[in-house]
Structure 1
Amino acid sequence: MTLEEKAGLLFHTVIPMHPDGRPVEAEDGTDRDFPADTTGLIRGQGLNHFNLVGTADPRRLAQWHNAVQEIAASTRLGIPVTVSTDPRHSFTLNVGASLPAGAFSAWPEAIGLAAARDPELVHRFADIARQEYLAVGLRVALHPQIDLATEPRWARQMGTFGADAVLTAELVRAYIRGFQGEKLGPDSVATMVKHFPGGGPQKDGEDPHFPHGKDQVYPGGMRDLHLEPFRAAVAAGCAQMMPYYGRPLGAGWEEVGFGFNRDVVTGLLRDRLGFGGIVCTDWGLLSDDEIFGEPHQARAWGVEHLTVAERAAKALDAGVDQFGGEECPEVVVELVRGGRVDERRVDDSVRRLLREKFVLGLFDERRFVDPDAAEEIVGADGFRAAGAAAQRRSLTVLVNRERLLPVARTKLRLYTEGLDLEAVAGHGRPVGTPAEADLAVLRLFTPYEHRPNRFESMFHSGRLDFPDDELTAILRVLDTVPTVVLINLERPAVIPEIAERAAAVIADYGASDDALLDVVFGRARPEGRLPFELPRSMAAVEASRPDVPHDTADPVFPYGAGLSL
């Protein structure tokens, strides 16, 4: 291999597709959120690892995959492309972390799988997702996310298994087994576990995608607790690992972002935990860029003063194999030719990356996929039914005054907010005001602060309590008519007044209106238990220690709360 070909392997960048299955090319213009030059990236720059954004029907996804593999086959060495994806099976609107389910079977978020507390359910989900991914050529899952949800304000909790280290470790083993099988092979989807060594303890709950969230802190001295799920993942044979953006303060490690951190990547992950797989940085550590047309600073926390080349050298020295979300292989070429990085160091990473392609069968029987089979497999009836059942099972009943649930009466006059009227129609007669109703059903979502940056606004950060005007409107309904409150918990909402005055409260973690109403009206049985506590106030949140689970004073609902019907 030439040095240029080796360098291309070290980059794992974002790539879009046209909805009709065509690769996006330079001549298609740049009036898109994610412009691209697919052929140029593969033939010109030697890249062959791509994170697919966007979605389409299964046939077109398969056709896109095959078209990209045809381009790769035409290069000098014909190295096949490895396509990765963020989660595609749930409900989140955070496009930085997940994609809408679309044609794929729809399941609760990972936090909802944790609410069900069943490793076999997690294995079933992962095995179905593996089959659907495999059918359209998606070979690396940029998940599971096994950070502990110990800071209530942190935006990424819906992708985790909650706040408990023991449960998270148990579920990640099942998850990896479902995606990879007992051994990585041609029928596997490789898992990229994240975010090492645990991204939950963010200062003030801010997210390190952004400069004001770059610090990760351990005031409770619980650094090693956050490592426990990752020990389990390594023991289970996870193929890849992603270090987080944050820079650790006061943890005994160099105070630079984890992707640049030799103490963490080599000293801890490689040497102490014995991980021999691929280490890929989180996206965008080297270069300033634009997201949705807005300037975005490289997440080079602690090394902002370094040049792009110096940042790349430091990350390679730390022990990473790949740069996520970047496409500048010429930087690695210059580092080697200038003597800053030994080519043998690059070879170490190239061997790991090529070996995985061979093990996944990409050089032979798994290079191309069958569009007909993709249509049959993705979103198959049995897969959809399993996801729908998991949604219902994950729901958590927190309040059930006077045994209102399940509601047995028929022909009720129903006042609803936040629900699709077609879903409501089968359960009662809709009315226009609470005063006219026998029962109200409100669908709410965890509050968050609206941030001016478009990308950051999708992360749902900041306060967890409802603004006064919104809370007043909600309580007015609760005081007028018996009310069932359905609340989506992407983070731990602060709802003491609602919990006190609602007739019933049901938490969901990604579920359809039909799933929620089936539980309200007794057509399905909820089994969920809270995967984190619900704090009593923002003062309690602010006083808690970000690295310590279940640390808010006098929570409204403790970890594990949940009623049976």
Structure 2
Amino acid sequence: MKDTQPIYRDASRSVAERVQDLMSCMTLTEKIAQLGSCWVYELQDQQGFSKDQASALISQGIGQITRVGGGSTLAPLDSAKMANTIQAHLIHHTRLGIPAIVHEECCSGYMALGATCFPQIVGLASTWMPELAEQMTTVIRTQMRAVGAHQGLAPVLDVARDPRWGRVEETFGEDPLFASQMGVAYVRGLQGANLRDGVMATGKHFLGHGISEAGMNCTPVHLGPRELRDVILMPFQAVVQQAQLASMMNAYSELDGVVVASSRAIMTDLLRDELGFDGLVVSDYRAISMLYDYHRVAGDEAHAAYLALNAGIDVELPTTKCYGSPLMQAVQSGLVSESLIDTAVERILRKKFELGLFENPYVDVDRVLSVYVTPAQRQLARQIAQQSIVLLKNDNQVLPLSKTVKSIAVIGPNANEARHLFGDYSHPAHIETLLEKQPELATLLKC
């Protein structure tokens, strides 16, 4: 008798057929596993990848792996090898062999050791050149796919209207139309012409996150419906309808008294039904747990899982807390229907098939170094930096500088520390600063 492979393994079949076939093979436990994630370090010990830890954490599969490169100090080649090892474990040591999506941060460059650091996004916006945004994210896509990463948690599409907000630097600024144009270019470069060679862009933070009370990162947002739609929504609508955005991330905040991560009106009715978004929705880090331990709108983790899943959040990041055993308990108690889980799992599997993970789960490690920090990439980073410079006039001696001044003293902790000039989502700023004791004394540089 001739062996036949299951439909979901047959690349000649449509994505819809493959998704439905795979869904029909899955147990409830395996489905729930696809809604979760885990940090790369949860699968490691001091010797590297740990089969024992992997067997304990991902024996039923996993939806996403969090930041193989960006959550570690692995160089690009080692990061690619680690991604391959994790995928091999999933393929050969789980019943159905479903690969994982590896996600990374990439606001102003792939946030990993050895990747090209570009100017921060507000600097990119200052170029007024969307074509540079697309060129930049084309480089990011090339570097990420080379090491086995498939999803980038960018761009930030929040419209910056409050300078007190500490994440203004990650945005394209205060103009919604311009943020839309830059966002569309960013997404097109990152995703490419086809997701099989592209990186899923993730618009964030849906919705209203950038104008939270007092400029704090998780405080309430107070918006009228007209400003919400005419200003705040515009960049998100543009990337969904003009650039086919593949993924969206929720805002941490509450919007007019309703926590966004629990709001079906925002995450489904507005995002999917009105804007026409048909991609994957991932939680901001710990946003689902925060329904229980920060916002206090959920009584426990099972209730938080129900609220988020019902709202329309498909994947819990960065690691599984609520979308694991608490979600299973919610199903068993009747709080969550299995059909609600099926809807989210179908979206996840669809993206895995569109990314080509079942045909090409591994990367060619021999190719990795050829796409890292090339002269052309360095030149592009320099070009963006040069074009971002804004020339201001010193009318009426706003700065008390005479034309005879030959040198200026730059004083403070940033005076002679290049690392402090990197964007907040760059490896030197985000990871290396956690590993080294920073100088506490102010410095002075004479220029």
TM bin (shorter chain) = 0.7 to 0.9
Q: Is the 8 A contact 1:19 1:60 kept in 2?
A: no
* Aligned ranges 1:247-286 → 2 under 5 Å: 247-249=254-256, 255-286=257-288
Q: CA shift at 1:207, angstroms?
A: 1.0
**Could you report, residue by residue, the CA deviation over 1:141-200 in whole angstroms, capped at 9, with x for unpaired residues?**
011110011111111111111111000000111111101123x42101001111012311
State how far apart, in whole Å, the 1-side matches of 2:174 and 2:407 are. Answer: 40
Distance 1:265 1:415 in 2: 50
Offset at residue 312 of structure 1 (A): 0.7
- Trace 1:243-322 onto structure 2 (pairs within 5 A): 243-249=250-256, 255-287=257-289, 300-301=294-295, 303=297, 305-322=298-315
Q: Partner residue of 1:238?
A: 245
1:88–1:115: structure 2 CA closer, same or farther, 3 Å change rule?
A: closer
Counterpart position of 2:8: none
Matches within 5 A, 1:481-496: none
Give the Å deviation of 1:24. 5.1
1:4 aligns with 29
- Kept in 2: contact 1:135–1:378 (CA 8 A): no
Q: Report SS of the residue matched to 1:352.
A: helix
Distance in 1 separating the partners of 2:348 and 2:44: 29
Aligned partner (choices 341, 349, 367) of residue 373 of structure 1: 367
Partner of 1:48: 63
1:15, CA displacement in angstroms?
2.9
- One-letter identity of the residue aligned with 2:56: G
State the 4+ residue runs in structure 1 displaced beyond 6 angstroms: 17-22, 443-446
**Match for 1:267: what amino acid?**
D
Structure 1 residues 19, 104: closer, same or farther in 2, change over 3 A?
Answer: farther
Q: Distance in 2 between matches of 1:26 and 1:376?
A: 30
Partners of 2:292 and 2:81 in 1: how far apart? 33
Q: Given the alignment of the two structures, is residue 199 of structure 1 paired with residue 209 of structure 2, yes or no? A: yes
CA separation of 1:299 and 1:50: change in aligned 2, threshold 3 A: farther
* Closer/same/farther in 2, CA of residues 149 and 372 from structure 1, 3 Å limit: same
CA contact (8 A) 1:179 1:189 kept: yes
TM value normalised by structure 1 = 0.63
Segments of 5+ residues of structure 1 without an aligned counterpart are 28-36, 91-97, 209-213, 250-254, 289-296, 424-442, 447-453, 459-469, 478-482, 485-565
Matched, 1:228 2:228: no
Measure the CA separation in 1 of the matches of 2:200 and 2:47. Answer: 25
Match in the other structure for 1:144? 155
Determine which structure has the larger helix proportion and give its number: 2
Is the CA contact (8 Å cut-off) linking 1:23 and 1:67 kept in structure 2?
no
Q: How does 1:343-358 map to 2 (within 5 A)?
A: 343-358=338-353
In structure 2, the partner of 1:522 is none
Structure 2-normalised TM-score?
Answer: 0.78
1:16 to 2:9 alignment? no
* Residue identity opposite 1:215 in structure 2: P
Query: Partner residue of 1:323?
Result: 316
1:395 maps to amino acid? I
Pair member with larger Rg: 1
In structure 2, C-alpha distance between the alignment counterparts of 1:353 and 1:9, rounded to whole Å: 7
Unaligned 5+ segments in structure 2 are 1-25, 423-429, 435-441
- Cα deviation, 1:450-503, whole Å, max 9, x if unaligned, reads xxxx99x99xxxxxxxxxxx9xx99xx9xxxxx97xxxxxxxxxxxxxxxxxxx
Decide whether aligned partners of structure 1 residues 20 and 114 sit closer, same or farther in structure 2, where only a CA change above 3 A counts.
farther
Higher strand share: 1
Alpha-carbon distance in structure 2 between the residues aligned to 1:179 and 1:128: 8
RMSD (CA atoms): 3.4
Does the aligned pair in 2 maintain the 1:257–1:300 contact within 8 Å?
Answer: no
Partner secondary structure for residue 200 of structure 1: helix
- Tell me how far apart the structure 2 counterparts of residues 243 and 88 of structure 1 sit (CA, whole Å): 16
**2:408 paired with 1:390:** no
Aligned residues: 390
Q: Between 191-200 and 122-131, report the one with greater CA deviation.
A: 191-200
Find the residue that maps to 1:70 and give its secondary structure: helix
Equivalent of 1:129 in 136, 140, 146: 140
Residue 256 of structure 1 and its aligned partner are, at CA, apart by 2.5
SS of corresponding position for 1:311 = helix
* DSSP-derived class of the 2:97 partner: coil
Report if aligned partners of 2:259, 2:295 keep a CA contact under 8 Å in 1: yes
Distance 1:165 1:231 in 2: 11
